Structure 1
């Protein structure tokens, strides 16, 4: 499937995205280079070819069928931004040995270069490996306090030599004192890989609270709002809801799932929750408009308010705000980027003719 018969963004837009390494196009298309015989992701860091030597495809199978081989740098055959084997092995070791401090000497003994590890975690987790470890230990301490353990006990179990040091780190991480932790709600997060790039999933005991692409500019304000408005204590970790969304998201992108069953918990204003509930009823492969949602809510003049609430949806894909389009058939805004929105609608075979720049 080449550019002429595939459902792809305009040629000029793909050239721009490739030259600028635009991550919002991750998984939307792949670039094949005629002079080298390889194909890459849009975000590949290799030296860029001349536009006249580029050829674009919708998927890796089309690239391979055309005789191209995968780039060894960006590895387009892997899930987008998936953790390399050496990182995955380290994460398994951390799970198996949660009390290990993991000094640079220990990392080197495992064949892991500390600086390389630091760079990977900063790029993909937004923090260094050691900062991630501290956050993980503090999350375990928070859980211990919630379970009735003493602050002194969890402080020393977490590896802190002084209670004051533990209190300072705890408050800096969770924006609450350890004494107030028993009344807070832990919000655990993990990183998920998808064909459209890495996502972050956050869940508490009642269900999934957030699912967003990691490169979204709105992500940090959303997390800060969850901490300040709803009292969440955010820490890396795992629970049943995070395990479910990881599995169900993989099934969705493989075309094997149309309905998500993971439990959701969506704190917000009454009107926002009404809008989000309506979003959740939009069937797979169908679209609607802000005006139609306002009509169903009995507020026909509230299209703009519906649009704002739609934009504040924190759970991408599962609460399908990508199925809401403009009254003129245009894509309209999408926090994850309009290329991703077009990809998701293509994936679902949505019967809609879009008139915007990314029409398909």
Structure 2
């Protein structure tokens, strides 16, 4: 608990009060301006819903945010190390400059010493920091509809081929493919059981997961590779619809999700995911039961794999799948969340009118089974990915 990250409200309160106790330990990323600041920054304070708090400058830069010109977080975080402070000062003065090891040597520094110092201080090398700053500027220019050459110049690249290669590595597509085209947008949703991240385009939801899911980074990487698009933080209509429907779900008003979902996965996986959506809230199924419903009794393991490949939590309710013996099995978001969601849906199903959208098995045996799932004794010690 000593090293546990404070929750969003605590950090936002610290931002409002400019609490120096968090200086250098946490940073605020402002989604409306694409800038990140120290919590003691004197700039006008953003709304809470526009704030994302990170523990490292590397995380802020990696998400595409620029350092605030007022509080200058990268320079301040350089501390008293003149090597780090001098290079950060130079980068802040010319963020689009293309730095190389020769530039570092020309300033009288040993590249390996600089690399270690920056990794120790920021979690990334100086050259990586400079590259992210430049590419972020270029990507913003492209997504705004400007020409590739203008984006190249904004990013500080003299070589067109070098710029195209760098953009392609970062976003999975050539610069021309980003011009005037909205990237996948991501935003965060607060729920009673933790923060979720939603990723969507203008038409459909691609991913909805809890942010502390261990495999989240690899899931996002697979999504980017599949769509050949980068992911940037931003507001978008589809995510706002998800936010409204998830809020409705957690407030106990029902499980009618109407947001359009992207058609990822194989034909078999999509059949399994539809079978999951067909499980009424308040009920559960086993892997073998779903296989039987699909007429594929021998495909139990394939059903389990498809269940684990689901990237849209709650809306595609993989938490409603339990073991054949009635145990909770596993859940990528954590067994405690699976237990919470099942109990929430059981109560919601019992409280809504029988003519509502949710149906529920109210037999005595089912009630005893659901009650057993919410007792500590029912929690298995292991955790298997859903």
TM-score between the two structures when normalised by the length of structure 2: 0.60
Matched, 1:329 2:348: no
Matched, 1:213 2:210: yes
Matched, 1:246 2:179: no
CA shift in 2, pair 1:142/1:282, >3 Å: farther
1:302 is displaced (CA, Å) by: 0.8
Structure 2: distance between partners of 1:317 and 1:126 = 31
Say whether the 8 Å CA contact 1:211–1:314 is kept in structure 2.
yes
Say whether the 8 Å CA contact 2:186–2:199 is kept in structure 1.
yes
Q: Which has the larger radius of gyration?
A: 2
Q: How does 1:96-135 map to 2 (within 5 A)?
A: 97=33, 108-110=41-43, 120-122=53-55, 127-128=59-60, 131-133=63-65
SS of the residue corresponding to residue 193 of structure 1 reads strand
Structure 2: distance between partners of 1:102 and 1:88 = 15
Alignment-derived partner of residue 172 in structure 2 = 175
1:191 is displaced (CA, Å) by: 1.5
Structure 1: distance between partners of 2:320 and 2:16 = 34
CA shift in 2, pair 1:343/1:188, >3 Å: same
Matched, 1:272 2:269: yes
Equivalent pairs, count: 273
Matched, 1:256 2:244: no
Structure 2: distance between partners of 1:88 and 1:260 = 36
Alignment-derived partner of residue 160 in structure 1 = 155
List runs of 5+ in structure 2 lacking aligned partners.
18-26, 46-50, 67-134, 348-366, 380-386
Matched, 1:144 2:144: yes
1:211 is displaced (CA, Å) by: 0.6
Structure 2: distance between partners of 1:239 and 1:231 = 19
Aligned-pair Cα RMSD in Å: 3.9
Say whether the 8 Å CA contact 1:139–1:237 is kept in structure 2.
no
1:175 is displaced (CA, Å) by: 2.8
Structure 1: distance between partners of 2:329 and 2:207 = 22
1:154 is displaced (CA, Å) by: 4.5
Alignment-derived partner of residue 197 in structure 1 = 194
Structure 2: distance between partners of 1:119 and 1:207 = 23
CA shift in 2, pair 1:260/1:285, >3 Å: same
Say whether the 8 Å CA contact 2:279–2:285 is kept in structure 1.
yes
Structure 2: distance between partners of 1:207 and 1:128 = 26
SS of the residue corresponding to residue 349 of structure 1 reads helix
1:181 is displaced (CA, Å) by: 3.2
Higher relative CO (Cα under 8 Å, sequence separation at least 6) belongs to 1
CA shift in 2, pair 1:306/1:119, >3 Å: closer
Alignment-derived partner of residue 225 in structure 1 = 222
CA shift in 2, pair 1:271/1:141, >3 Å: farther
1:162 is displaced (CA, Å) by: 4.2
Say whether the 8 Å CA contact 2:207–2:312 is kept in structure 1.
yes
Say whether the 8 Å CA contact 1:342–1:358 is kept in structure 2.
no
Say whether the 8 Å CA contact 2:285–2:321 is kept in structure 1.
yes
1:91 is displaced (CA, Å) by: 8.0
Matched, 1:359 2:359: no
Structure 1: distance between partners of 2:258 and 2:28 = 28
Query: In structure 2, which of residues 184, 193, 200 is the aligned counterpart of residue 187 of structure 1?
Result: 184
Deviations 1:162-209 (A, max 9, x none): 465864653343132203436987321112221111111111223111
Say whether the 8 Å CA contact 2:64–2:136 is kept in structure 1.
yes
List runs of 5+ in structure 1 lacking aligned partners.
1-20, 22-43, 47-72, 113-117
Alignment-derived partner of residue 344 in structure 1 = 341
